[in-house]
Structure 1
Amino acid sequence: MNDLLALHDIHVYYGPFHALRGNTLSVGRGEIVSLLGGNASGKSTTMKTVLGLVRPKSGTVHFDGEEITHASTSQRVRAGIASVPEARRVFPQMTVDENLIAGAYTRRDKTGIAEDLERMRDHFPRLGERRRQQAGTLSGGEQQMLAFARALMSRPKLVCMDEPTMGLAPRLVDQVLDEIVRINRELAVAVLFVEQQAELALSIASRGYVLATGEIVLEGGASELLDNPRVQEAYLGRVVRGDAAPPGPSTTRRRSTVSAEQP
């Protein structure tokens, strides 16, 4: 695979706490990849490592063929990594257009920014209709769309999304997932996203990684993970016969690669 993002043997500590334990993962160009796991599994720390908000004690991060392990967050944004943070975090007192322009803060090409602003209004018609409205008055789903569009204003190659469906009504969840797929296909933007709901995440991802207590314990294609007994028991609430245990603190910490032949 032609990897756009590659993390290799990443170890992260918060003081004495070993938060990530030798994790290796990748995202291909134009690919959608999900990070699955419960609370305190290491999902958000992995995302922060990609964004440069957390520095690993050891291991490497490569993006678009260059090592960025020690690069700052702003340098990573300029390289082509954008973020849609948890709980959206739009600027509530600013208008929709002002929020979008803020997403292009690393750019200096005024003409290009104006063109992309118009393009975001076309891609997200509801945002175009509310361009002069304060972002804090938008619905939850509209704010999520705004956060996504704001990230795209930096012209990224990879968008990192942390719990994009959190707090949204079921009908809005479907809209957000559809939008992720649409932007991925139309703009060829790769997506790495954190999600606790495995079935939702794997419905749009091509591949996924399952984390438990700071370590990747499963990885594979989306359909293969959905069929895996450990994922079904841990995340889908299904009782599966046999001795397969769900990933978690009591599960063996040895990493597994899911394949079509695995039961």
Structure 2
Amino acid sequence: LDYAGIDIEKMMQPADNLIETRYVSKGRQKFKVPTSVQQSVPAWLVFSMFFVVIPLSNTFIAERNYGTLMRLQSMNISTGFLLAGKLLPFFIVNLIQVVLMILVGVFVVPMLGGDVLTMGDSFGGLLLITTAVSFCSISLALLVASVAKTTEHATTIGGVFNIILAAIGGIMIPKFVMPDFMQTLSVVSPMSWGLDGFLDIFLRNGNALDVLPESLLLFTFGMVMLSTTALVIKKKMSL
């Protein structure tokens, strides 16, 4: 091989000297890497729950334009009761989405040659993180609907905002392959909190206590969004 310009001595060097180790996780921490199914199903589950902003905005803005909200307030119905009337039905919608996505991961994906979605053993933990993500996503959607003037405006704001949250929150690209600064930035995304909670259940076989930190963050964020929505509605109704 000398005539071809190939250095045989270099080829015979131990492989250990030629292999460079790179850590894809922040802080060089060891962790259980999810399979494609374990990553994709909870990621797109969270993403779909946050996209409730589009149907909710259409309903909310239509009621506002038709004067339905004004008539309800003239009947001394509180703003909190009005918001609760939006939270409950869309919470049920999100629960249906969760069930359907889990069924796809457990039954449909294996039929197509993929891995089976592992569920974990904690139904209470799964219910807690599902409730927290749903409450957070609906509260954010209500705020977008309350400040938007038209359905097109709400769709644009909600869509762009959700895509940004998904991009930095590990939905589109797994966090464990992100650079260090992106992994640090991802902690500001509510979608990241929700995804971490679902991975605690599906991947790490966690329980309700394990998802409690993420759930508290989601509930707190949701309460801030819901309180801001109530203030916006009261201000607009008083004009």
Please, what TM-score do these two structures have when normalized by structure 1? 0.25
Q: Which has the higher contact order (CA 8 A, sep 6+)?
A: 2
Higher strand share: 1
Structure number, greater radius of gyration: 2
Higher helix share: 2
Please, what TM-score do these two structures have when normalized by structure 2? 0.27
